[in-house]
Amino acid sequence: MKELVERLVVNRRLDNESLRALLTECTTDANVLQLLRDCAVRTAREQFGLGIYIRGLIEVSSYCRCDCLYCGLRRSNRSAERYRLTHDEIMACCREGYKLGFRTFVLQGGEDGTHTDRWLEELVRDIRQSYPDVAITLSLGERSEESYRALYEAGANRYLLRHEAANADLYDALHPTAKGLKNRLECLEALKRIGYQVGMGMMIGVKGQTIDDIVEDLQLIGRMQPQMVGIGPFMPHSSTPLGGEPAGDLRLTLAAVAITRLMLPSALIPSTTALATLSPIGRLEGILSGANVVMPNLSPSDIRAKYAIYENKASWGKEAAEGLAALDEELKTIGYHIDYSRGDFNNK
């Protein structure tokens, strides 16, 4: 196993067999997982030092046309409370975030049919004009290439669109109303072509996912070379068809994060909210597996509970924007600190 990890460090890739062996071993042998994570942390430190970038997450709408089996915002979930922030409310979040020191805003939401190109363009243009020095990240699901282009021209810089599953059968099983993996990958290609910094990623431990599927996910990420990669454990939401399933495995999630860091040394990799929700030390564990970004919540506090992609989602305390000082304290316990710079991808 040591030899496999060394090969991954040197070559930034492994064949399917080796990746499968490494992931499997990480769930049973704590020493192998530790070795892998140590290598990932070393690589992240060479790239980013001890600074952790922050991104202010604004959850713009909980309406969604999709019916993804795992997600609490799925349209079949009649018990979900829906809301949609207004233009002015989103601008107020940005104002607050900018004051706190955020230099990236992430506008994330369900696939809300009322979010027309025009409405979103005006929003992005307004943020761009008000804060010329921030990065604007969008995470609004699948849209047309024209739409992606118009939003890029309005001032957006980055787009997060997890591929969710590189295995087309698993993808279809999890996303009954979606347009399929092919369309998803075409969206990612379009975003790349337009010039966005692009984010991909997947959950670990969702029903039906095997180790081989995670291997496929990692290989796809290796081929696509995205600038950002979000990986978190699956978390069950009781009002979804997967509500009775167990949460994803922490060790396997940390192994996937660490392998991703070694495959893509300069990528921006968040220690996800799902990790922080799974374990009280999840956020630190993510950083100690090679992650270099955290995404505190900037949404108005009264709506946060309604943006429930899964239950008990961490959003208070250190996950909340008000908790930046607390976050910095937490990071200090492992020798890190918040890096307030915009933190663009740069391939050294």
Residues engaged in binding ligand 5AD (CB under 6 A): 70-71, 162, 164, 203, 232, 234-235, 237, 274, 309-310
In the complex with ligand 5AD, the residue whose CB is nearer, 39 or 203, is 203
CB of 237 to ligand 5AD, least distance (A): 5
CA distances from 28 to 22, 23, 250, 292 (A): 10, 9, 12, 26
* Phi, psi (rounded to 5 degrees) for 159: -140, 125
In the complex with ligand 5AD, the residue whose CB is nearer, 152 or 310, is 310
CA-to-CA distance for 119 and 205, rounded, in angstroms? 36
CB of 18 to ligand 5AD, least distance (A): 26
In the complex with ligand 5AD, the residue whose CB is nearer, 220 or 309, is 309
CB of 266 to ligand 5AD, least distance (A): 22
Both tokens of 101, joined, read 């020191």
**CA nearest to 252, candidates 227, 234, 273:** 234
CB of 187 to ligand 5AD, least distance (A): 13
C-alpha 94: how far from chain center: 20
CB of 133 to ligand 5AD, least distance (A): 26
Both tokens of 216, joined, read 């496929």
- Identify the bridge partners of residue 75 per DSSP, sorted by sequence position: none
Following CA atoms 108, 111, 115, 117 in sequence, which dihedral angle do they give, to the nearest 10 degrees?
90
**CA nearest to 7, candidates 41, 35, 48:** 35
In the complex with ligand 5AD, the residue whose CB is nearer, 53 or 70, is 70
CB of 97 to ligand 5AD, least distance (A): 19
In the complex with ligand 5AD, the residue whose CB is nearer, 98 or 230, is 230
* Cβ pair 44, 286 in contact under 8 A: no
3-state secondary structure of 41: helix
Cα angle at 218 between 212 and 219, to 5 degrees?
A: 90
In the complex with ligand 5AD, the residue whose CB is nearer, 43 or 286, is 286
CB of 310 to ligand 5AD, least distance (A): 4
Length of the chain, in residues:
348
In the complex with ligand 5AD, the residue whose CB is nearer, 170 or 235, is 235
